[in-house]
Chains A and B, each alone.
Chain A
Amino acid sequence: MSEMRAPTRTPEFEARLKQRYAAERRFKLAGLGAIAFSVAILVFLLGNMLSNGLGGFQRTVFEVPVDLSRMALSVPATDNEASAVRSLQSQGLPEIVQYAAEEALGSEGASQINSEAWRIVAQEVIADPALLRGSNTYSLPTNEDIASAYAGDGKLHLQPLANELAEQGLLHDAFDPGFMTRSDATDPQLVGIWGALKGSILTMIVTLLLAFPVGVLAALYLEEYAPRNRWTDIIEVSINNLAAVPSIIFGLLGLAVFLTLFPSFRSAPLIGGMTLALMTMPVIVISGRNAIKAVPPSIRDGALAIGASPVQVVFHHVLPLALPGILTGTIIGMARALGETAPLLLIGMRAFVATPPSGFTDNATVLPMQIFLWSDQIDRGFVERTSAAIIVLLIFLLLMNGLAIYLRNKFEKRW
């Protein structure tokens, strides 16, 4: 017996259905394509930064044996490293290092050694004065010319020299732990990001201390106590707007208001933190309100029923329950502030800062700003250093967002 078919399934119908199904498949494929494209861009972006940036954690070094025993050097008995380094400098350490480099690398090679290379020897000697009594091999940074020649571009006439030294094992790339502990410099072989990182941390502390309490208190007021009237409407509208105002506008505000009030704190973490706090506060208010709204009314009713006052209800019951949600929003807001550059550009945190800031009122720069400043440099070496700084920044942001997601999953309650 042949298959029973509905009388409506005519050949025209079948053809139409086939077409519709084909359209369906095309549509689905387009959707998948859109997602694949976004993910591919993300992978390409991160891969690009990684492949460029891993080289930024290295620098090119000469292996130079330095015999310090022939010289009567002594490390002064002081805790102050800077003055010990100065003392070694005046005892002629730079010349000794230069001489040793000439013996090991020839005069042409030695001319490519970094002028600050002796500081590496000085630091190692200060850490371990026993080195003064013998001959040791030190990894000394090169200057930028031979580093780029070694990488295969830059000045062509240096490339044979670089290849020759590399073949003898005297020249190679080595991991550069100092990148995390030094500050900005004009020579890409000598830069580090600790100064910028510390500036970022100080700025974020100011932002958190200002934006978190104000944001949480404002969220509590608006969600729990505010009467529904015109005033509250204005506050609500202005908070929603502040969350969407371009960040550069906050920079204009910081420039015109904060720098007029405190002209001596130009490019200090204090001013930067205050500006970013204005930007972060609305984010905290909005996420805080959502978290507070999610606490079911039965909690409030129960507390009120056994005689708690409205303030006790909020501070003893609602706030602790809403806190994980508020913290999640705060971390996300702080992550946004950490990556922000534009407002800080306007309030002058773009100075060249060669020493890490020691307080909230010192001159400082922040990590994204350091990336921006280095990206403007023409030197080949800065490209890798910039990507390396980006990797550090992205790791911080990933950690913060990961913490936020963890908090959300661990403490989020479905009532």
Chain B
Amino acid sequence: MSSAIPLLLAIGLGLAGWLVARGRAWKFKSEAADGRLASLPVYHAWYAALWIGGPVLLFGVVWNAICGNLIMQHVLASPGAANLPAFGMRRDAILREAQNVASGAADRVLIPEAEPLVEPFRAATLLYDGIGIAVALVLALIGAVWVFLRLKPNFAARTKVERGVLGVLFLASLVAILTTFGIFVTLVFETFRFFGMVSPVDFLFGTHWGPDPMAATTSTDGSRYGAIPLFWGTIFIGAIIAMIVAIPLGLMSAIYLTQYANPTLRKWIKPALEILAGVPTVVYGYFAALTIAPAIREIAVSVGIANASSESALAAGLVMGVMIIPFVSSMADDSIAAVPQAMRDGSLAMGATTNETIRRVLIPAALPGIVAGIMLAVSRAIGETMIVVMAAGYAANLSANPLEAMTTVTVQIVAMLTGEASMDHPATLSAFALGFVLFIITLILNVIALRVVKRFREAYE
């Protein structure tokens, strides 16, 4: 069944219920002795629409999910399915072909074996669509009967409707928890499967990274899954090189914008920094790979480093630092602005110059906020993917030379999951283990930073 049908059915039936219930409420109103109802007619209408449309919609979602399987079972039980191959790609292709022809997506069969299955598919689809629509109509009817038995002039329809609305609001706010929970469960589950094949000690403390996606899954060589080079590359690029660029530039920009710049300059510079923050990372990655990396290589060669590689940690780190500047700047901006004006005035009144005030009073007072901002910036830098995928390379190197190619956790997640290994292969699962490490580290950084920021704000409020 097309997924639009239950939706249209729910909206149509709900609308019908809405109109009928409202008309009935008006009638109640005209018949009532004092011309008053307990709730406005429109709430009668919504009450009816919720009870009629809601169950149909819920049923539609469930039915959509199981309908495909039911049709498939029906088709497989038909005599035409007897000489299908038992499993494999060919079987899937035949079934898909027959289904496409039956639903009209394709105009004729290309695989002859699919021919006898087209008719069963058509029949089964018709049958289960019929059943689905019938059940939906029955549900709507039951809802309608229930509603029309309850709707009376003195019925508190508004209270009921509002309770329903609050329930929907609550469910919406649960989506966030469900997502967090989903991420956590997925990562933990796949990570445990991975640790069933490779020991956590090998993974966390090994210094050689070179998974072989083609190796047999039965015996896994744990020594190929040492993630230390990845952790080092991530820290070196994201937390060291990028921060060397981003912290001074971001901090100084924030100081200049808040303390020195006149309003006109601020009006123009702030949006410019926002643009810098809004440029997609794939564009930064392209810029790093195509412009910055070759430039760095040329400079390195010209100062006599012969074997400089065209992919380097430096290029990725520099561009990532530029990407982070607006982030650091806006966090520092907020923290400096949160320092009470009285502290600044006091320092200036004592005869300190502006820069002495900034360095000796404002920065120390704003330090917790600034540090928290830097932690958030680091968490963003180590989770950044496209720049490093495009500019840092795939070679796992444990080296402190910024001109060498290095790889990071995020690059290897992409590499492991876009390769040709199957979902059960340790190389694929290692991506989830890496993701889990990344998730935990960014989670810790974020939680600490957000707590510091909160406490810091409270201190000055």
20 further contact pairs, Cβ within 8 A, besides A42-B275, A341-B386, A372-B282: A20-B356, A28-B256, A30-B252, A32-B260, A35-B252, A38-B249, A38-B276, A42-B272, A221-B170, A221-B173, A244-B442, A246-B410, A248-B414, A249-B383, A252-B413, A311-B165, A340-B280, A342-B385, A372-B285, A375-B282
Q: Is A124 an interface residue (CB 8 A)?
A: no
Cβ contacts under 8 Å, B154 to chain A: none
Instruction: Give the interface size bracket for A toward B.
Output: 35 or more
Whether the pair B260, A28 counts as a contact (CB closer than 8 A) is yes
Given contacts A24-B354, A38-B253, A339-B282, contact A244 B175 (CB under 8 A): no
Given contacts A214-B175, A248-B414, contact A241 B269 (CB under 8 A): no
Q: Which of B175, B248, B356, B432 contacts A218 (CB 8 A)?
A: B175
Q: Is B190 an interface residue (CB 8 A)?
A: yes
**Majority secondary structure, B binding face:** helix
Cβ contacts under 8 Å, B390 to chain A: 372, 375
Whether the pair A24, B383 counts as a contact (CB closer than 8 A) is no
Please indicate which of the listed interface residues A215, A246, A255 has the most CB atoms of chain B within 10 Å of its own CB: A246
B245 to chain A, nearest CB (A): 10
Of the stretches B16-24, B120-128, B180-188, B392-400, the one at the interface is: B180-188
Whether the pair A45, B439 counts as a contact (CB closer than 8 A) is no
Binary interface encoding of chain B residues 413-451 relative to chain A, with 1 for a CB under 8 A from any of its CBs, else 0: 110011000000000000110010011001100110010
Whether the pair A256, B190 counts as a contact (CB closer than 8 A) is yes
Q: Is A304 an interface residue (CB 8 A)?
A: no
In the bound assembly, the distance between CA atoms of A255 and B187 in angstroms comes to: 11
Whether the pair B174, A394 counts as a contact (CB closer than 8 A) is no
Of the stretches B286-294, B300-308, B338-346, the one at the interface is: B286-294
Cβ contacts under 8 Å, B74 to chain A: none
Binary interface encoding of chain A residues 356-388 relative to chain B, with 1 for a CB under 8 A from any of its CBs, else 0: 000000000000110110010000000100110
Of the stretches A56-64, A155-163, A174-182, A277-285, the one at the interface is: A277-285
Q: Is B197 an interface residue (CB 8 A)?
A: no
Whether the pair A49, B186 counts as a contact (CB closer than 8 A) is no
Q: Is B31 an interface residue (CB 8 A)?
A: no
Cβ contacts under 8 Å, B298 to chain A: none
In the bound assembly, the distance between CA atoms of A67 and B256 in angstroms comes to: 68
Whether the pair A246, B175 counts as a contact (CB closer than 8 A) is no
Q: Is B212 an interface residue (CB 8 A)?
A: no
Whether the pair B283, A253 counts as a contact (CB closer than 8 A) is no
27 A-B residue contacts at CB 8 Å?
A: A27-B355, A27-B359, A31-B259, A35-B253, A35-B256, A35-B261, A39-B269, A42-B272, A45-B287, A215-B172, A218-B173, A218-B176, A221-B169, A225-B169, A235-B177, A242-B180, A246-B383, A247-B383, A248-B383, A249-B187, A249-B383, A311-B165, A342-B385, A342-B410, A342-B414, A371-B286, A397-B280
In the bound assembly, the distance between CA atoms of A281 and B322 in angstroms comes to: 27
Whether the pair B248, A335 counts as a contact (CB closer than 8 A) is no
Whether the pair B276, A20 counts as a contact (CB closer than 8 A) is no
A222 to chain B, nearest CB (A): 6
Q: Which residue of B lies closest to A372 (CB)?
A: B282
Whether the pair B410, A375 counts as a contact (CB closer than 8 A) is no
In the bound assembly, the distance between CA atoms of A27 and B354 in angstroms comes to: 9
In the bound assembly, the distance between CA atoms of A37 and B187 in angstroms comes to: 40
Whether the pair A238, B176 counts as a contact (CB closer than 8 A) is yes
Q: Is B166 an interface residue (CB 8 A)?
A: yes
In the bound assembly, the distance between CA atoms of A115 and B389 in angstroms comes to: 34
Q: Which residue of A lies closest to B416 (CB)?
A: A346
Whether the pair B431, A252 counts as a contact (CB closer than 8 A) is yes
Whether the pair A225, B166 counts as a contact (CB closer than 8 A) is yes
In the bound assembly, the distance between CA atoms of A34 and B165 in angstroms comes to: 51
Q: Which residue of B lies closest to A332 (CB)?
A: B278
Binary interface encoding of chain B residues 326-357 relative to chain A, with 1 for a CB under 8 A from any of its CBs, else 0: 10010000000000000000000000011110
Given contacts A221-B170, A346-B414, A401-B274, contact A37 B249 (CB under 8 A): yes
Whether the pair B173, A34 counts as a contact (CB closer than 8 A) is no
Chain A 8-57 interface residues, beta-carbon cutoff 8 Å to B: 20-21, 23-24, 27-28, 30-35, 37-39, 41-42, 45, 48-49
B49 to chain A, nearest CB (A): 16
Please indicate which of the listed interface residues B170, B289, B322 has the most CB atoms of chain A within 10 Å of its own CB: B170
